[in-house]
Chain A
Amino acid sequence: MKVMVAVKRVVDYAVKVRIKADKSGVETSNTKMSMNPFCEIAVEEALRIKEAGRASEVVVVSMGGEQCVETIRTGLAMGADRGLHVITQDSSSLFPLAVAKLLQALVSSEQPRLLLLGKQAIDDDCNQTGQMVAGLLGWPQATFASKVSISDDKESVCVEREVDGGIETIQLQLPAVVTADLRLNTPRYATLPNIMKAKKKSIQRVTPEELNVVIGSDLEVLEVTEPPKRKAGVMVASVDELLDKLKNEARVF
């Protein structure tokens, strides 16, 4: 069984981001970029499925400019078998629907039985791609997975999802789309032997035209601004003053 994992190159989780002077977006030049943490968790899950003997191949997919190759290499260094790179002009024009359409095209040519993604990207927090691609493919979907178990006959997958009310357990017929949440697993470190092997693994390049997908978007980013700064706390001298402030300024009651 083939497992496909879609990964995204984003600003590193630990970096303090800054807004560009023209407010068109976040400053990405000269900032550290790495694989989206949820995508990392998805890759780890795919590798665990392979190590458990339920999958034969793990393919890592990413879309964007030349630098995406680094992110795919990270996936390969963790243990994936091969990579797929969809080259586009630049990464900023790829909104979830475009990505979903590209994934749909790739899935029809690669024919994986399981498509794993991170639940959302930390740069846009959209939380849409997994759901959209499942809709386009007509595949069942399990989002916010905190546990994934493929059945012995590899015909279905049992997923525990983190929902507002608690944990929901559902069973899906394969092929299916699963998006990974934080507590699914802890991704492994890429060890040196694997990093060396990753250099020799193949990364296939395709263009959107070859996949017959038109990249366009109905969305336009107007402006990106910082949230208002947290105001400093106020020291109060007595309980009466506290009550007064709660009532009149904070309007708690």
Chain B
Amino acid sequence: MNKRCTLLTRLSIRARSTGDEENSSSTTLDTSRYTFFFHEFSLSFQNLIARVSPGKKWLENCRAYSVPASSKVVRDERFATLDDQDIKHFSGIVGSKGLVVDKDELEVANTDWMRKFKGSAQLLLRPQSSNQVAEILKYSSSRRIAVVPQGGNTGLVGGSVPVFDEVIVNLGAMNSIISFDEVSGILICEAGCILETLDKFLADKGFMFPLDLGAKGSCQIGGNVSTNAGGLRLIRYGSLHGNILGLEVVLSDGTILDMLSSLRKDNTGYDLKQLFIAGAEGTLGVVTKVAVLTPQKLPSVNVGFLACTDYTSCQKMLLEARKHLGEVLSAFEFIDSFALDMVLKHSGDRHPLPDAKEKFYLLIETTGSNQSHDKEKLDNFVETVLTQGLVVDGTIAQDNTQISNFWHIREAWFLQLPPLGKAGAVYKYDLSIPIKDLYNLVEILRERLATVVAYGHLGDGNLHLNISAPDYDEKASFFFQLLAKIEPFVYEWTAAHKGSVSAEHGLGFMKAHAIHYSRSPETVELMRKMKAMLDPNGILNPYKVIA
């Protein structure tokens, strides 16, 4: 919202004065989607005020949001601009196949998964080893060239794409599996390995990766680690903080920090690797190698898709699931009827419960080593909740195909809908809220706005809120009004309920200004100090995480 306001201000002024197109080194939104905006805004300034938020002065509107925005949107002039000498030097480090200047490839790397953020990097580097990464960063630090570490580019908060012309350092070429210990289950691999590839490799050996999320076909482990991706099975396997045993990180000055121990327990000194897992999002160092503790892949998997009438039942279901399913519970997801309808409309999946007209649906998964034991637990659980009236209807998958169908419905939100030619623009929020208050936010927003859908990891208290604006044919004023109704209300409400404005997606670019809603000023100040210490020139992923 903030960036849009400021951008449009600048556009309109420029349009009025010179009729030029916008400066290519400024942040742009995906212009193809907003071209109609720019058409309209090449009209005069006065017209703008008349169209936008009638009754409220446009400048007033902007002033409310644009102060932090302008500081975030302007390119930091202390960063150098690339010249031929730099390109030559980089070429010497990564070789000709590691240097990408092709317009089309850059276009893809510059755009994020949601197609909401687009940078204008002129150079993409694909180092093949940690040493190359170290040399790149050492040189960039000395020349003060801003750098964006990039993995699978599946982040949802614009953290993996440049804001301006930062150089993209993509770790995709560093994708080898270094070692795997079949007794302890400890896997050591490079940061560019794709999650699904790792999971398949482990499956052959009877193990599994403790992290699973919708993006697994494209996301890379380095990015997962830096963002502390939560995923679908956090309720069972815990977060990456517990599963990552060691990291190799390259700091901004080119130092390679080898913390790649594969020990289950190691209490020698400060556990620095935790700093680079989560929160860092590529701003403190570049993760180049990862040592993970992987659990056994257990054969017996059961999935139930259940319908509940109201949110209170969902909460009670969680309690009952923990009680009856206990140690075999491996996922507890919820999706509300609006979200389910939207998914089914666009993804072509079948409604698992065509006769149910309930408002909430739960996806519960159990994973264990003994099929009959788990089935018995599941049967007992189902019977209990049916008699208590907590579920009205439901189905239990009878074979693996049905299991993947149910999961596909839950994951379609990431896989199918983002490119969203399908459902218009989507404002996504990822909030951690105490479970008992979680759905209240959705209902409050639904009173204020049009299409609010909610789904998420109920077992972890993590709500994924999606608010969609119907069509790009709407007038611009609609967007301002819509976003004004959402932000900062969502953040303020979450802060008031002691929740977190970013449960698992991270802050990236989108929420860099929102950190104070969930962290005290003293905490944020300490974070700034650490950033200054580890990255004095501020070249690692600037404009992100802490604005």
Contact = CB atoms under 8 A, between A and B. Distances in A.
Interface string B1-21: 000000000000000000000
A76 to B, nearest CB: 11
Contact of A192 (B350, B386, B401, B403): B386
B299 A77 contact: no
21 contacts: A12-B400, A12-B401, A13-B400, A14-B400, A15-B400, A32-B300, A32-B301, A34-B400, A37-B399, A40-B398, A77-B398, A189-B395, A189-B398, A189-B402, A190-B395, A191-B393, A191-B394, A191-B395, A192-B394, A192-B396, A199-B379
A147 B375 CA distance: 35
Given A189-B353, A192-B386, A32 B396 contact: no
B314 interface: no
Nearest to A31: B299
Contacts of A193: 386, 393
B93 to A, nearest CB: 28
A89 interface: no
B31 interface: no
B382 A191 contact: no
Contacts of B300: 32
Given A12-B400, A13-B401, A35-B398, A192 B301 contact: no
A71 B375 CA distance: 13
A184 B56 CA distance: 62
A35 B399 contact: yes
Interface of B: 299-301, 305-306, 350, 352-353, 371, 375, 379, 382-383, 386, 391, 393-404
Interface string A97-126: 000000000000000000000000000000
A143 B249 CA distance: 63
Interface residues of A, number: 23
B120 to A, nearest CB: 34
Contacts of B375: 70
Interface in A34-57: 34-35, 37, 40
Contacts of A129: none
Contact of B382 (A14, A30, A35, A196): A196
A13 B399 contact: yes
A193 B400 CA distance: 21
A15 B301 CA distance: 12
Interface in A7-27: 12-15
A31 B299 CA distance: 7
A166 to B, nearest CB: 27
B393 A74 contact: no
Contact of B299 (A32, A35, A192): A32
A189 B400 CA distance: 13
For chain B, what secondary structure do more than half of its interface residues adopt (helix, strand, loop), or is it mixed? mixed
Interface in A165-192: 186, 189-192
A197 B318 CA distance: 25
A195 interface: yes
Contacts of A74: 398
A70 to B, nearest CB: 8
A40 B402 CA distance: 12
Contacts of B403: 14
Nearest to B405: A189
A74 B352 CA distance: 16
Contact of B398 (A14, A34, A186, A192): A34
A206 to B, nearest CB: 23
Contacts of A12: 399-401
A35 B301 CA distance: 16
Contacts of B395: 189-192
Q: Which of B305, B399, B403 has most A Cβ within 10 Å?
A: B399
A192 B382 contact: yes
Contacts of A35: 398-399
A70 B399 CA distance: 12
B299 A30 contact: yes
A72 B178 CA distance: 47
Contacts of A37: 399, 401
Given A32-B299, A189-B352, A189-B353, A195 B400 contact: no
Contacts of A191: 353, 393-395
Nearest to B304: A192
Q: Which of A32, A74, A192 has most B Cβ within 10 Å?
A: A192
Contacts of B400: 12-15, 32, 34
A52 B386 CA distance: 29
A13 B353 CA distance: 23
A171 B395 CA distance: 37
Given A14-B404, A30-B299, A32-B301, A192 B399 contact: no
Interface in A57-103: 70, 74, 77
Q: Which 5 A-B pairs have the closest CB atoms?
A: A34-B399, A14-B400, A189-B395, A192-B394, A12-B400
A172 B398 CA distance: 33
A32 B371 CA distance: 9
Contacts of B382: 192, 195-196
A31 B379 CA distance: 21
Contacts of A40: 398-399
Contacts of A199: 379
Given A31-B299, A32-B299, A196 B386 contact: yes
A196 B399 contact: no
A15 B396 CA distance: 18
B480 to A, nearest CB: 44
Given A32-B299, A189-B352, 17 more contacts: A12-B400, A13-B399, A13-B401, A14-B403, A14-B404, A15-B400, A30-B299, A32-B371, A34-B398, A34-B399, A37-B401, A40-B398, A74-B398, A189-B398, A192-B382, A196-B386, A199-B379
Q: Which of A14, A15, A77 has most B Cβ within 10 Å?
A: A14
A31 B306 CA distance: 26
